[in-house]
Amino acid sequence: MAAADAPVPELQARANACAERLLDADRVLLASHIDADGLTSAAVASTALERAEIPFETVFEKQLDAESITGIAERGYETVLFTDFGSGQLDIIAEHESAGDFIPVIADHHQPANPETTYHLNPLLEGIDGASELSGAGAAYVLARALAQASDTDDPLDNRDLAGLAVVGAVGDMQASGGQLHGANAGIVEEGVDAGVLEEIKDLAVYGKQTRPIPKLLEYATDVRIPGITNDKRGTISFLDGLDVACRADDAWKRWVDLTDDERQTVASALVQHAISRGVPAFKIDRLVSTTYILTEESQGTELRDASEFSTLLNATARYERADVGLAVCLGNRTAALDQARELLRNHRRNLSEGIEWVETHGVTTEDHLQWFDAGEEIRETIVGIIAGMSMGADGVSRDIPIIAFARKNDTETKVSGRGTGPLVSRGLDLSVVMREASQAVGGDGGGHDVAAGATIPTGEEEAFIDHADRIVGEQLG
Ligand code: C5P
Ligand code: C5P
Ligand code: ZN
């Protein structure tokens, strides 16, 4: 096969094997994870299955563990396709496979547990980083491309139109580190650009360019704090009013997308000048501009047009037990499902800002090598990881050591989320190992990526968990 036909050549052999297996199946159970990456993985995989005329059904799981895998086995499908999880639970899955319960096909990017299995597509098995170079949706995309090529469809794009969803998944998993996607992800972007579904542009690195009024866009951007702008409504308005750009139409503020290219350039340059004059250091100034991924077929001014806004919209559904709504939006529903997703997004936004405020108010406890907080029932366990990550760098929360967060799952179990940074990973941090080992030491289980991982532990074991985690992080950072 020509290299041009293989989005990630290193994975092609595995993708082909998985595709062949799926094409041999009478019907498939597709199981995926409940976050933006899991939803886009499911959307990519289900579209590909449908186009290949393979009957299937889709289920979502908050977490793949012995119990949920048993539930999956009981549905009686001969073939189960796992996307955005499965690798980390291979030990359990392999037992079901040996027992003849089902044949697993896995398209994932999490740290694999032993043993190996026959139909297993995971970047980490081929030396590609699963935390920064390929997402679950990316792995599903590689599979979708192989499926198109192995089945005789007359689709000239061979599923390359699904690259937009793959990019939403990668962005949702925070893989655009340093402002853009790299490695295998960048290869997928290229295919999407060629297929005409994606565009990449250098633009201001702020969230909400499609939907937020310009002052809110600037005021709420906290990644790079700019005195007189960040969290400063009056300062932001006076900054904008001082420019020779019409940021208002009649009485209403425009959105970033309503400005012309020249106007955007003017505002961005002025913002950089303003930041420099207020003493923002050069390395942070660089972070003010990044690559924005545009889904060209979506309408201007909607959450769906910008990969970052799209991924937040999806998290707002799946992390609130409404994966069905997010999946419907991914699959093209622009009416009832989109309205409902927007409603859920308002709720999600409120929860995120209240959560970060809670962390700032209550503070974190600092150990030798990490910092942590226990939100109890104050923060929903499905978003506590997002909040832990967003709170790094907020008032009183350091970016120099990893953060661990607890939230109550139910009467007996506590959810743990860990988040690090790129520089910490370069120094040796691997939170997937921290989460797995520290949780297993207290009777729980966990895993994930080097930079972001999670676990479930028995309630009451939080302090013991921290002791183990602190020691392991200390060993890793040497
Ligand atoms: O299970 P999954 O891989 O989809 O989840 C990845 C999680 O890790 C996301 O919630 C994402 O926010 C987080 N992450 C992060 N920073 C990174 C990579 C991932 O916070 N650099
Ligand atoms: O839940 P949270 O967003 O903190 O998850 C971070 C990463 O850790 C995700 O990739 C998730 O799939 C993984 N994780 C895991 N096992 C758990 C909990 C989370 O592999 N028990
Ligand atoms: Zn993922």
- The preferred substitution site among 84, 87, 174, 380 for testing ligand 1, maximizing ligand atoms within 8 Å of CB, is 174
Residues in contact with ligand 2 (CB, 6 Å cut-off) = 63, 88, 110, 385, 417, 446-449, 452-456
Q: What is the mean pLDDT of the chain?
A: 95
List Cα–Cα distances, 85 to 41, 159, 242, 307, 372, in angstroms. 10, 22, 50, 22, 26
Which residues touch 469 (CB under 8 Å, ≥6 apart)?
370, 404, 418, 434, 435, 438
Atom 3 of ligand 2: nearest residue by CA position: 385
Give the chain's length. 478
Running DSSP on this structure, what letter comes out for residue 367? Answer: -
- The token duo for 74 is 């009981």
Instruction: Please give the distance, rounded to the nearest whole angstrom, from the Cα atom of residue 166 to the centre of ligand 1.
Output: 15
CA 159 to the chain's CA centroid: 21
- At residue 155, the pLDDT reads 79
Give the whole-angstrom CA distance, residue 290 versus residue 273: 17
Atom number in ligand 1 closest to CA 130: 3
Give dist(CA 120, CA 143) in Å, integer.
10
**What average pLDDT does the segment 273-282 reach?**
96
Rounded CA separation 331/48 (Å): 11
Ligand 1 atom at minimum distance from 109 CA: 3
Enumerate the β-bridge partners of residue 294: 199, 306
pLDDT digits (tens, 9 = 90+) for 179-209: 899 999 999 999 999 999 999 999 999 999 9
pLDDT, average across residues 48-63? 96
* Confidence (pLDDT) at 4: 54
Residue type, 247: C
Q: How far apart are CA 156 and CA 452, in angstroms?
A: 38
Indicate if the pLDDT at residue 133 is higher than 80. yes
pLDDT (tens digit per residue) in 312-333: 999 999 999 999 999 999 999 9
Other beta carbons within 10 Å of 321: 12
Q: What is the pLDDT of residues 435-451, one digit of tens each?
A: 999 999 999 999 998 99
> Quick count: other Cβ atoms within 10 Å of Cβ 421?
20
Burial grade of 4 (CB within 10 A; 0-12, 13-18, 19 or more): exposed
Classify 323 as helix, strand or coil.
helix
- Give me the pLDDT at residue 18, please: 98
pLDDT at 53 over 70: yes
Q: Ligand 2 centroid to 333 CA: how many Å?
A: 28
CA-CA-CA-CA torsion sign (105, 107, 110, 114): positive
Position of tokens 């961005």? 268
Q: Phi then psi for 330, rounded to 5 degrees?
A: -60, -35
Residue type, position 210, single letter: Q
What does each C-alpha distance from 164 to 17, 50, 81, 183 come to in angstroms?
A: 24, 18, 21, 16
Using DSSP bridges, classify how beta strands 103-107 and 119-121 pair: parallel, antiparallel or unpaired.
parallel
CA 362 to ligand 1 center in whole angstroms: 24
User: What pLDDT, on a 0 to 100 scale, did the predictor assign at position 3?
Assistant: 42
* pLDDT of 71 higher than 50: yes
Domains of the chain (ranges; CATH) run: 3-194 (3.90.1640.30), 203-352 (no CATH), 363-477 (3.10.310.40)
Number of the ligand 1 atom closest to the C-alpha atom of 422:
21
Q: Is 418 touching ligand 1 by the criterion CB < 6 Å?
A: no
CA 70 vs. chain centroid, Å, equals: 26
The response to whether residue 101 sits with its C-beta less than 6 Å from ligand 1 reads: no
Whether the ω angle into residue 104 lies within 30 degrees of 0, i.e. cis, is: no
